[in-house]
Structure 1
């Protein structure tokens, strides 16, 4: 049985997912939360296998919340469940440590499959093309390119810290800065 927590600001989404999960063999909803604060508390109490998380919460940034969830011990797997048509989300999902990404408009079977895949230790993230990678590389400072590359390759946080010769808190601050740049800034112009 895969235990699932839902964190989403919309009551209809939370209720609908709870109902759908109850009908799907092997998936067990163990709670839902509105935002980051109550979601993190619920996750630490229920210890789910998978968290379905909206990347846009009302009380905090969902991608930052994803990072905090993935830093727990033991860390549940996270599937971002988004209605947003943000072309940078496949990149920022990886930087935040998400294990899967599913659009809310996708058929429910796609969400169920993503939950099963990530619960099995794999990822359910869309493939990235060269254009997406180039756009991400041009949004970050040159000193953060190695960090971006390691996060895209899903390098373990302890290995990232060791490679960069930084403690985990400094790495966490740089990742937050990196996420901010990837989400909010237009790409830097490329010198010709």
Structure 2
């Protein structure tokens, strides 16, 4: 059972999200919150696996609430609910370590799939915003010197990292490199392990921060 806290300042939105999630046999909504301070309180009491986080909330916003949640010991996964006009917030959310983004206009089945994805320890960025978020992030960072761990990557693993940073899915990477999906999964896992990264979102951050890819780059 995946335990979820729903955070949004609009009561009708919270009610709608809760209704959709509670209809699933493997998801339990263990709390709701209308602002960032309430999110922190509810998460501390309910110990959720996933927090579905709105960004624009009164008092303490969802971005700062995410930072505080993720700075704690054994934090929940944070899945950000976003709109197209929150590009700057998404950049900061990437840096904070959230597990991904989902558009508020996404259909219910996509929301449910996203909850399951991040609960399983994977990262997710809605395909509709992936390229915008990645390029916006790239424009805002200055390349850092490459860390020693980068030298441990093989040429193929470095290629996979670059494709990940450009928003490619495993299937798209497999097609571009003419290899099987299982091979791509193995490469991705090795890249994350060698660089000490938690998930694909951190891989995107790493690649832009260290100049492996630059905005406008394409493979």
1:132 counterpart residue number: 136
1:11 counterpart residue number: 11
2:34 counterpart residue number: 34
SS at match of 1:88: helix
Cα distance in 2 for partners of 1:108, 1:118 equals 16
TM-score by length of 2: 0.60
Unaligned residue ranges in structure 2 (runs of 5+): 148-164, 166-194, 199-219
SS at match of 1:25: coil
SS at match of 2:5: strand
Deviation string for 1:35-91 (max 9, x for gaps)?
Answer: 111110110010000000001111112111111111222210000012352233442
SS at match of 2:105: coil
TM-score by length of 1: 0.68
Q: Offset at 1:110?
A: 1.2
Q: Is the 8 A contact 1:53 1:81 kept in 2?
A: yes
Q: Is the 8 A contact 2:63 2:89 kept in 1?
A: no
- For the structure 1 residues 22 and 94, does the alpha-carbon distance in structure 2 shift closer, same or farther, using more than 3 Å as the test? same
Q: Which has the larger radius of gyration?
A: 2
SS at match of 2:78: strand
Unaligned residue ranges in structure 1 (runs of 5+): 157-192
User: Which region of structure 1 is more displaced relative to structure 2, 84-93 or 102-111?
Assistant: 84-93
- For the structure 1 residues 64 and 155, does the alpha-carbon distance in structure 2 shift closer, same or farther, using more than 3 Å as the test? farther
2:65 counterpart residue number: 65
CA RMSD of aligned residues (A): 2.6
Cα distance in 2 for partners of 1:133, 1:39 equals 26
1:119 counterpart residue number: 119
Cα distance in 2 for partners of 1:154, 1:88 equals 26
Cα distance in 2 for partners of 1:79, 1:118 equals 7
Alignment of 1:28-107 (within 5 A): 28-107=28-107
Query: How many residues align structurally?
Result: 147
